[in-house]
Amino acid sequence: MYNFPRVIRDPASAMIARRGARGQTVNGLRESYEAAYAAALRTLETLTDEDLGLGARFWGEGFFDIWSLYAAQADHLAEHGGHVREGLPHPTPAPRQENVPLSERR
């Protein structure tokens, strides 16, 4: 979606994200993310310094090489990591043993 004008890219990206999020579970999202992250790292390991300097112009954004696109992901994770953690369900703490009947204690 990078190489579309912003006026098209931003609303289209939001719509695609909303549709893709329907019916997702936290575990499903985690699995998809982990698979994509692992694939990105495998790809990065195969790139040479020359490859990392290749890139393209993006509408209204300027030129981006492969290295800066990978680096931008680290910045993006740092920017939104807290938002993701806030949206995750909080684990329910285990009941304290003194509140559990003796017959059910471990």
58-96 pLDDT tens trace: 877 889 999 999 998 888 888 888 888 887 777 766 666
Q: Which two tokens stand for residue 98?
A: 């003194």
pLDDT digits (tens, 9 = 90+) for 23-53: 888 888 889 989 999 999 999 999 999 999 9
Q: Report if pTM > 0.75.
A: no
Q: 3-state class of 29 per DSSP? A: helix
The residue segments making up the domain with residue 68 are: 6-83
- Is 1's pLDDT higher than 60? no
74 domain residue, yes or no? yes
DSSP letter assigned to residue 32:
H
> Exposure string (b/e) for 15-27, b if CB count within 10 Å is 16 or more?
eeeeeeeeeeeee
pLDDT of residue 19: 92
Domains of the chain: total: 1
Q: Which pLDDT belongs to residue 101? A: 64
Cross-strand pairs, 17: none
Nearest-angstrom CA–CA distance, 91 and 85: 12
Q: Is residue 60 part of a domain?
A: yes
Residue 73 in domain: yes
